Amino acid sequence: MENMIQRESAEYSPVFETVISALEELMQDWEIEDPIRSDTRVVADLGFESIDLIQMISFLEKAFRLRSGSLVDILVIDGRYVDDLLVGEIAEIIGSRIMQSAER
């Protein structure tokens, strides 16, 4: 139950909204009808392929004014490429990176 509440509140955060905007811009010519939510999977639900994931990272780095290459590691866990990512996970990772940058 707590996880569901966290996901719902994450969908109203400015970071989440910016992630959604970046994804929508990237996918503007795609025919995706379902709304993007925190539990939307970028590969299984949105149809992203490996090149799309790289473009997504670039879009997000620009959208959040992060240095180039700073988000590439979200595509790799324990030395292996991830199979899929939830939009909420992406927003959480970016949010924590922004907080870490602010603390420095």
CB 84 within 8 A of CB 41: yes
Domain that holds residue 83: 2-103
pTM summary value: 0.81
Of 9-13, 42-46, 51-55, 77-81, the range with the lowest mean pLDDT is 9-13
Q: DSSP of 33-56, one letter per residue? A: -SPP-TT-BTTTTT---HHHHHHH
CB 81 within 8 A of CB 75: yes
Count: domains in the chain = 1
Distance of alpha carbon 90 from its chain centroid, rounded?
A: 3
Q: For residue range 23-50, what is the model confidence (pLDDT) as tens digits?
A: 999 898 988 888 899 999 999 999 999 8
Residue 104 binned pLDDT confidence (cut-offs 50, 70, 90): low
CATH of the domain at 33: 1.10.1200
Contacts for 25 with CB less than 8 Å, ≥ 6 apart: 59
